[in-house]
């Protein structure tokens, strides 16, 4: 993990869980908020509205989707702090919630963190 | 039948490193389950190499195979043999969930050689290229200034760079500027 380099500079560096590269932000494409649950046909207007428009905008712990666009091309998830650019970890795109080791890594640094239904 | 010509037809430049467009290179993009035995045999038959591990590349001259992502390989064969190799590969993979496509004419290949080769490429890609971090046998997909590019090393002083053919002129100009005489940085 690029933790040492992360302290030394202010560039966002994420470790791509698919190709293992410590990719800096110019190799990456931001994909917005992670773990959105899709509400499509059959859902209520309120649910659809929230799915389309309501996004978290935290100062602190945040979960995002990123794509290693100038690299292996894979989408992945990242848990990071929007205030300090600290990266808690990156993980597979094929999950619907952060894995335990990511949650534990966040709790170690931010004991009181919550984000949507996760904590 | 018209004669195929590579993007820059062997253009070259001598600076702190020698930049050369390598000419036509047979290139097959192969996607599928990389742990599949049928796929591994198809790769072996086409290149003589086994399926590379994460970010590995193994080449002999203009034949070899490189790891592009968890489900993608780049297979290099001589340009004249690409149709036959692709047909054999497609045939071998007929019962497998996999896809092989000839992308030879969609790509351009450059070589950067000389003692300052690491330095020239290091100016263009956000990649650690010190001898400890990057060695022959590895491949890295990244960007070269503003376009996508992949590169590996043939030996300790020679890179091969692959980019889209449509960006060949741009990449050649980038490499020329990065290799201008007197532009050594002295990092690597």
Helix axes B82-92, B37-47, angle to 10 degrees: 160
pLDDT of residue B2: 86
Domain boundaries A3-36+45-109, corresponding CATH code: 3.30.2270.10
pLDDT of residue A1: 45
Q: What percent of chain B has pLDDT over 70?
A: 99
Can you tell me which residue has the tokens 């996999």?
Answer: B98
B68 to A72: CB separation less than 8 angstroms, yes or no: yes
Tokens of A48: 């659809």
What kind and span of H or E run contains B178? helix B168-178
pLDDT of residue A10: 66
Tokens of B90: 């497609």
A74 to B142: CB separation less than 8 angstroms, yes or no: no
Per the CATH hierarchy, to which homologous superfamily does domain B12-23+106-178 belong? Answer: Probable tRNA modification gtpase trme; domain 1 (3.30.1360.120)
Domain ranges of chain A: 3-36+45-109
Domain ranges of chain B: 12-23+106-178, 26-105
Nearest in space to B105 (alpha carbons), one of B10, B5, B173: B5
CB pairs under 8 A between A and B: 33
What residues contact residue A19 under an 8 Å CB cut-off, 6+ apart?
A68, A71, A72, A74, B54, B55, B69, B70, B141
User: Which CATH entry fits the domain spanning B26-105: 3.30.70.1520, 3.40.50.620, 3.40.190.290, 2.40.290.10?
Assistant: 3.30.70.1520
ipTM, two decimals:
0.90
From B116's Cα to the closest Cα of chain A, the distance in A is: 24
Select from B54, B126, B143 the Cβ nearest to the Cβ of A19: B54
Tokens of A26: 């110019």
The tens digit of pLDDT for each residue in A30-84 reads: 999 999 999 999 999 999 999 999 999 999 999 999 999 999 999 999 999 999 9
Alpha carbon distance A17, A99 (integer Å): 13
DSSP E strands, B78-178: 98-102, 107-113, 139-144, 147-155, 158-164
Alpha carbon B12 to its chain centroid, in Å, reads 17
Instruction: Provide the edge-to-edge strand list for the sheet that holds B72-77.
Output: B57-60, B63-69, B72-77, B26-32, B98-102
Query: Confidence band (pLDDT; 50, 70, 90) for A9?
Result: low
Q: What 3-state class would DSSP assign to A41?
A: coil
Within 8 A of B142 by CB-CB distance, chain A residues are 27, 70-71
A18: nearest CA in chain B? B70
The tens digit of pLDDT for each residue in B144-174 reads: 999 999 999 999 999 999 999 999 999 999 9
Alpha carbon distance B139, B137 (integer Å): 7
Select from A19, A24, A70 the Cβ nearest to the Cβ of B69: A19
User: Rounded to two decimals, what is the model's pTM?
Assistant: 0.91
Sign of CA dihedral B132, B136, B141, B146: positive
What's chain A's average pLDDT? 92
The tens digit of pLDDT for each residue in B120-145 reads: 999 999 999 999 999 999 999 999 99
């Amino acid at each position: 993990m690029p933790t040492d380099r992360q302290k030394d500079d202010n560039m966002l560096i994420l470790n791509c869980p698919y190709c293992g590269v410590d990719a800096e932000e110019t190799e990456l494409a931001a994909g917005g908020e992670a773990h959105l649950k899709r509400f499509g046909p059959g859902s209520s207007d309120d649910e659809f509205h929230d799915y389309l428009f309501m996004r978290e905008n935290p100062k602190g712990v945040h979960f995002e989707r990123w794509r290693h666009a100038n690299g292996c091309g894979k989408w992945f998830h990242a848990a990071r702090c929007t205030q300090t650019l600290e990266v808690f970890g990156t993980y597979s795109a094929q999950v619907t919630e952060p894995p335990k080791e990511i949650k534990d890594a966040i709790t170690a640094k931010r004991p009181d963190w919550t984000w949507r239904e996760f904590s | 039948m018209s004669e195929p010509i590579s993007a820059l037809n062997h253009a070259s430049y001598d600076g702190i490193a020698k930049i050369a467009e390598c000419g036509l290179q047979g290139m097959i993009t192969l996607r599928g389950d990389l742990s599949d035995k049928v796929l591994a045999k198809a790769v072996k038959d086409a290149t003589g190499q086994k399926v590379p591990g994460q970010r590995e590349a193994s080449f002999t001259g203009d034949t070899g195979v490189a790891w592009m992502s968890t489900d993608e390989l780049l297979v290099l064969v001589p340009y004249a043999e690409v149709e036959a190799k692709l047909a054999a590969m497609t045939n071998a993979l007929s019962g497998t969930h996999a896809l092989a496509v000839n992308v030879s004419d969609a790509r351009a290949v450059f070589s950067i050689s000389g003692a300052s080769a690491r330095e020239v490429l290091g100016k263009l890609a956000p990649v650690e290229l010190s001898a400890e971090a990057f060695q022959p046998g590895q491949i890295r997909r990244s960007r070269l200034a503003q376009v996508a590019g992949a590169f590996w090393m043939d030996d300790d002083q020679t890179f091969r760079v692959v980019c889209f053919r449509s960006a060949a002129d741009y990449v050649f100009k980038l490499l020329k500027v990065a290799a201008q005489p007197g532009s050594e940085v002295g990092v690597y």
